[in-house]
A and B are shown apart, each in its own frame.
Chain A
């Protein structure tokens, strides 16, 4: 199956700093990537939809200035958590659609962010 790679897998940062998470589709082109957030023992909550070459669409309640999303190419989307606080600590997961198949969404392995 198609591969989506996230980097880093785990990051610890100080409160007030910014953290960038990368999501890459390795063997297919993805016009659309999705960013999810998952708290322990909870489901995945969609944060935003990232479209290549255009602004991301954020879900209700998600601060766009807090979670900056850039999708500059068909294989890379980035999520930057700005001025991180301990409550931003979470598991962040991206997924990407194969534009050829346009159905199944492939998921990255996730990034665990801990803000101290």
Chain B
């Protein structure tokens, strides 16, 4: 399958700071991307998505940026909270087909 990888395996931030999690993907035909949050022992939880015809999308405290030129995706979390501590995965999708996941970044939020 396609290769979706992450630059940073672990990210530690102070509570209240902003977090940026990065993701690189390899399939230039991917047209839909999702960020998932996974807490220990649980299934992935949808955070935010973006289509390839957009370069930015904002949620409540999260923003996803898409740079198709360099095939890069990022998730920005504003005012990071202890409850944000989890592993974050990006997933790519082409034409409503299968989702392939990146390797994941563990986010540690220090109080």
Question: A residues within 8 Å of B by Cβ?
Answer: 1, 4, 6, 34, 36, 42-46, 49, 59-60, 93, 95, 97, 102-110, 112
A112, B34: Cβ atoms closer than 8 Å: no
Q: Could you say which residues of chain B place their CB within 8 Å of the CB of A59? A: 1
Cβ distance B35 to chain A, nearest Cβ, rounded Å: 11
Residues of A with C-beta under 8 A to B102: 43
Q: Which residues of A contact B100 (CB under 8 A)?
A: 46
Determine if A46 and B99 form an interchain contact, defined as CB atoms under 8 angstroms apart: yes
- The answer to whether A107 and B99 have CB atoms under 8 Å apart is no
Contact, CB under 8 Å: B96 / A44: no
How far is B4's CA from A46's CA once the two chains are assembled, in angstroms?
A: 12
| CB within 8 Å for A103 and B101 given contacts A6-B43, A110-B43 | no
Complex formed: what's the CA distance from A43 to B49 in Å?
18
Number of interface residues of B (CB under 8 A): 20
Flag if B96 contacts A103 (CB, 8 Å). yes
A42 to B104, CA, bound (A): 7
Complex Cα spacing A116 to B93, Å? 36
> Which residue of chain B has the shortest Cβ distance to A109 in the bound complex?
B43
Contact between B96 and A110 (Cβ–Cβ < 8 Å)? no
**List of B residues within 8 angstroms of A49 by Cβ:** 98
Looking at the complex, which one of B43, B49, B89, B104 makes contact with A103 (CB distance below 8 Å)? B49
Q: Are B32 and A44 in contact (CB under 8 A)?
A: no
For B34, the chain A residues whose CB sits under 8 A away are: 104-105
Using known A-B contacts A1-B46, A93-B44, A107-B45, determine if residue A43 contacts B99 with beta carbons closer than 8 Å.
Answer: no
Among B1, B46, B49, B101, the residue within 8 A (CB) of A106 is: B46
0/1 interface trace, chain B 11-51, chain A, CB 8 Å (1 if under): 00000000000000000000010101000011111100100
CB distance from A44 to the nearest CB of B (A): 4
Neighbouring A residues of B52 by C-beta, 8 Å? none
- Which chain A residues border B96 with CB–CB below 8 Å? 97, 102-103
User: Which of A60, A103, A107 touches B44 (beta carbons < 8 Å)?
Assistant: A107
Known contacts A34-B98, A34-B99; is-contact A110 B104 (Cβ 8 Å): no
- The residues of B that contact A42 with a CB separation of less than 8 Å are 103-104
Expressed in whole angstroms, the minimum distance between the Cβ of B75 and any Cβ of chain A is: 15
